[in-house]
Homo-oligomer: A and B are copies of this chain.
Amino acid sequence: MSVLDRLEVPIVLAPLAGGPSTPELAAAVSEGGGLGFLAAGYLTAAATRERIAALRELTARPYGLNLFVPGAPSDPASYGDYARRVAAEREGAGEPRFEDDDWAAKLALVEDVAPPVVSFTFGCPSAGEIARVRAAGSEAWVTVTSPQEAETALAAGADGLAVQGSEAGGHRGGFTDAPDVALFSLLPLLQLIAADTDKPLVAAGGIATGGAVAAALCAGASAAAVGTAFLRAREAGTPAAHREALATDRPTGFTRAFTGRLARGIRNRFMDEHPDAPLAYPEIHHLTSPIRRAAREAGDGESINLWAGEAHALAEERPAAEILAGLATGAREALARAERRLSEGAP
């Protein structure tokens, strides 16, 4: 039995690394009957431990912790031109560098704290690493973006899969950033993966209404992961310029300009000026990080990563508990409507 089976509301907070994730937001979702999530990405293990403690002050209910799986350093020749160009264009660019997001210390933290769920992004941990997480008492989920990745994750021992469609905001969370890899939208991806496994699937990407929560359940998911729809919640750490952009119907697109890894955000000047940014994560993240920090503080939404899923215009500025309750009610209503629709014409 998965943690998911004990939720009052089959809704999981997407991790939202890099600012929006706060203990307050995660606690509000867990207290509301969903599964709150903390993002460990970009934090040290020590800072992650503090966030978990803060969350535990706010709720005793189940929660999840999301970790970035480290990749390999990129050849400096592959990103040198881009780094020089950005440094020439903008003041305060950082030094591109590789690091592993404090991986070993975070795995040790997980073994110590045993969050009810530990999910992984940007790669599949080894079978041994997954076994360690499970031995500590956590469920291990792996983020996948294709049927092949799902197969790999299940073979490595994953308890569940976060199934991320191409409509999702933020980074593609799969194992590879190769540019010729086929992207899957959520509905086809869910159907393909659900045809091959009975493990719980959490559907992520473009889910902004109760109707879409119900849709994800119908297409084979045990729960819906909701990210962008919580970015304007009072409890989220989303910067002001980001909140403003979310409230418009500006188009989204994919970019590697900010981090060196493909991510979906609201199109802005920095993205449009750098359409050919290289694959080099986290090197490019460190290159642009100080630029983005300064822009956030200056309220300059044209120079920061405005991560957002395709349905961002439907995100509402409300307390997280209200957003969650609205999604749950909407899901029930949508199912009842669909039920009527299906029986309506029946002879």
Contacts and interface: CB of A to CB of B under 8 A. Distances in A.
Interface of A: 5-10, 33, 147, 165-167, 182, 184-192, 194-195, 205-209, 211-212, 214-220, 222, 249, 251-253, 267, 309-311, 313-314, 328, 331-332, 334-335, 337-339, 341-342, 344-347
A191 B314 contact: yes
A194 B337 CA distance: 14
A194 B331 CA distance: 15
Nearest to A182: B251
Nearest to A10: B341
A2 to B, nearest CB: 12
Contacts of A335: 218, 335, 338-339, 342
11 contacts: A5-B345, A6-B345, A10-B342, A10-B345, A166-B166, A187-B206, A188-B206, A188-B212, A211-B218, A211-B219, A215-B216
B217 A191 contact: no
Given A191-B206, A220-B334, 17 more contacts: A5-B344, A6-B345, A9-B345, A165-B185, A165-B187, A167-B187, A182-B252, A182-B267, A187-B205, A187-B212, A187-B311, A188-B310, A195-B314, A212-B219, A217-B342, A218-B334, A335-B342
Contact of A188 (B192, B208, B328): B208
Contacts of A191: 206, 208-209, 211-212, 311, 314
A165, A189, A191, A252: residue with the most chain B Cβ atoms closer than 10 Å = A191
Nearest to A310: B188
Nearest to A209: B191
Contacts of A313: 192
B214 A220 contact: no
B214 A338 contact: yes
Contact of A218 (B5, B167, B218, B314): B218
Contacts of A192: 311, 313-314
Contacts of A7: 345
A341 B222 contact: yes
Contact of A339 (B147, B249, B339): B339
A338 B220 CA distance: 9
A186 B188 CA distance: 10
Closest 3 CB pairs of A and B: A188-B206, A182-B251, A215-B215
Contacts of A165: 185, 187
A311 to B, nearest CB: 4
Contacts of A184: 167, 310
A215 B187 contact: yes
Contacts of A190: 211-212
A9 B341 CA distance: 9
